[in-house]
Structure 1
Amino acid sequence: MRSAPPIVLTEQDRTRLEALAAAADAPARVAQRARIILLAAAGVQNQAIAPRLGIGRAQVARWRERYVQAGLAGILNDLPRGAPPVKVDVARMAVLTGTDGNGQPRAWGVQSLATELGVSPASVSRHRRAAGLVSGNMRRTGYLPPAPFTGGMAEIVALYVSAPEHALVLAFDGGEDQDSNAGALPRMCPAPAQQRSLTASLLTASLLTALRVLDGELAQAPSGSGRHRQWLAFLQEVDAATVPGRSLWVFADNHACHQHAEVQQWLERHPRITVQLAPSAASWLRTVQGFLRESRAGQAACRTRFPSGIPEALAAIEAARRSRGAVPYRWIRERAAARVTDARTPSGARRPVLPVVGTKVLPPHGTGQLMPREALMARLMQSRRHRCVVIQGQAGSGKTSVLVAWRKAMISFGYDVCWLSLSVEDNDPARFLDYLFASIAESAPTVAGKVQEVGAGHDGETLELRIIALVQELSRRTRDLVLMIDDLHHVSDSRILRALQLLLDYAPPQLHVAVASRTALELSMERLRLQNLLAEFDMRDLRFSPEESARFLLDRLGSITPADAAAMHELTDGWVAGLQLLAIGLRK
């Protein structure tokens, strides 16, 4: 008789499953799957789980096996239904139906093309209609490989989404006078190859994910005869915003709009623009992915530079998602220098930076001799590679003392560590950023200095620009930097939270952020959890164990019986402040 696979949950997985099962806003099917796994982990058999949840035994077994195979991701995603779709190699079909060496379209019948691709004629016809692959429509663009941006710097300058149409625009040239400060990475190879590769991989993954999410969340654009005019207006704006002498390469998939006579006539008059058409939206995304992959490979060999402008594009996409922007969605990158001018006062001088109180950027001195907590410190050291570490607990639970002890350990491991203590008065964007950059300047003065040059406005756009500049400067570091923020619960301004969200979403591998708060953070952490880049500690971790409580009381009182120490631990449930109050009362 086949037995169900056993399920053993870590404390972190159990907490997440319990949250999914109890969340009111979670999809019902996901909450049900979480309850299946929790019951299975408690030792309940499938035949007992099924009637308890009102579902079939086969369904219980299926999700149980999915969790064993793929973990939490296995129950968050739905299983595919129905027969698998017929797969047509649309990229190869595009090549076959492209132009020959004389610029003339190749003649392929539906039947011969179906035979060549190994699919039915109906599948070929369906995909050709969807992609707009009709005879004679390949006159100008063809299906070319991504341009070899060797010797110059490519940058992402525009994005167009009007489902089912998409376009990504790059500007490039072969010169050496471009401003590398706007890039996501340095011009040549000053940083280690592994560091450059990790940063480029993270930026690539973030951009592709953001494009998929944006495409799914924007409303479908209305069909009509005016869509080619919207596309032409976008190309004209991009052309006007790009400095003379630079070439533009457009990755697009809008065959019908692009092949309109007005668009083609305008492109003939603007030869610096080259359009590379993909057969479908999926193929367009693969084309973008392929270009970024080739750019990473060229950068690793120091032949080319990874395209700049990705952080700005990510910030713009996130802003569009939050505001549910208009369709079609258009973003055209502005030059950073122009933004710096706008962020300054009319005289050109930057806003004076607020004087920084020294206690803000240094850990508190009143922690005294810290009691060793080997188990908790071992877990924190295991989390030192995570992008974010969150310590949440009530007042008096020892959050600050834990951060101070971890800071000492991280410094001994060779990390640069900067500290920022917050209070109620710091819930102001300008004040918060001044203190944030002052804290970073304690360990990385060059980084903070360059970011301060961007400007000092605290409107949404300038805040995003300053965080993007910070991410770019930190990506150039060779040493890891840990930013510790204590008492983050004092911050509630939406602009500050937005800045912190951007910093966490696009932080380079060299940056690690540790925060302590009394309340749950008003930040989106789900993506970091799924990517295993987040470590979370709460009251269950901060409470003293019986042995730690006994050591703490012995240190405070000089002598105490094991029975009294156990009773006081039971009374306070290991709460540090409660133990301290009891010790003070007994000393009196």
Structure 2
Amino acid sequence: MPDERAFLNALVRRRQTPRGLATRARVILLSADHPEWTLSDIGQHVGLCDDTVSVWRRRFIQSGIDGLSDAPKSGAPRSIQDQRVEQVVRLTLDTPPENATHWSTRSMAKVSGLTQSAVHRIWQAFGLRPHLTSSFQLSKDPLLIEKVRDIVGLYLSPPDRALVLCVDEKPQIQALERGSTTFPMQLGQEERNGHTYIRHGTTTLIAALDARVGTVIGRCYPRHRTVEFLDFLEEIDRRVPSELAVHVILDNYITHKTRAVQGWLVLHPRYTFHFTPTSGSWLNLVESWFALLSRRRLRRGDFHSKDDLEQAIEAFIAQNNEHPQPFVWKRSADDILDSIRRFCLPYLGTSIS
């Protein structure tokens, strides 16, 4: 048939055609174009044995082009029926194991009568991971929605002729001197540190992050009281151009709301404080910068005094400001509130509006 020939030629020419299907199409075309050729002649041209050429010619005669496709493979019959799968899922979700906090494949296999591999496959199919847990903190702030929209709005659409600063304290940073030998990284082996250390006191870092640019204003203090916070506000005021309004994002720590701080705001009307929701410090981008500081400079640092620690922090800030990287907020307020809503519905049977 002309239509079949055109289709077979298209299969052979098309790059996306699976190699096996293209070879079978060539077998049929060679058989039609060279009726005098034997099975061995065709097999030599396409790289198949005589029996395989004979099989595909016979299947094409019986079923046409559909006969060139692989036949469905039946495989072994199911040994685990839906009722037993449902039993495993129900036990995992609704019934805690005896004398344990969560199921393991071994304990579930013992109770269900299945193999550990079968239990693992069922859990994988339904996205069940009993060995994992994660923490959460749901804000109970009655102004949660308003505060989320306010702060996210500052990130996504900052006001004209204004600076948005993310301010917070990182208290009790320990100056730890490693008391044991550190073995440096080698090929195939990570760096190794001992467990002993010597404490040389603590310091508190107060920092203000300009997320749009990535620069940081930071100072270390022995304590974090109202006095230190006011001193840091004065430091910000000296370093921010006087023609700019300043929007400060900060948490609900008590030193941020004292009468002395409120009086300072009265005397400095270009400043506006925006408080994150209760248990919502993740909205403050300076927390991401604190994590960067801990990961890159503090966690594996070796400090022989508190001054040594503070100099390291100041050097990190200076280097950060020489090559700043913006902190880009991507999620909208609606996305965040939708996430909270999706969490509340299945677990708490309620929602936020």
RCO higher in structure (CA 8 A, sep ≥6): 2
TM normalised by structure 1 equals: 0.19
TM normalised by structure 2 equals: 0.29
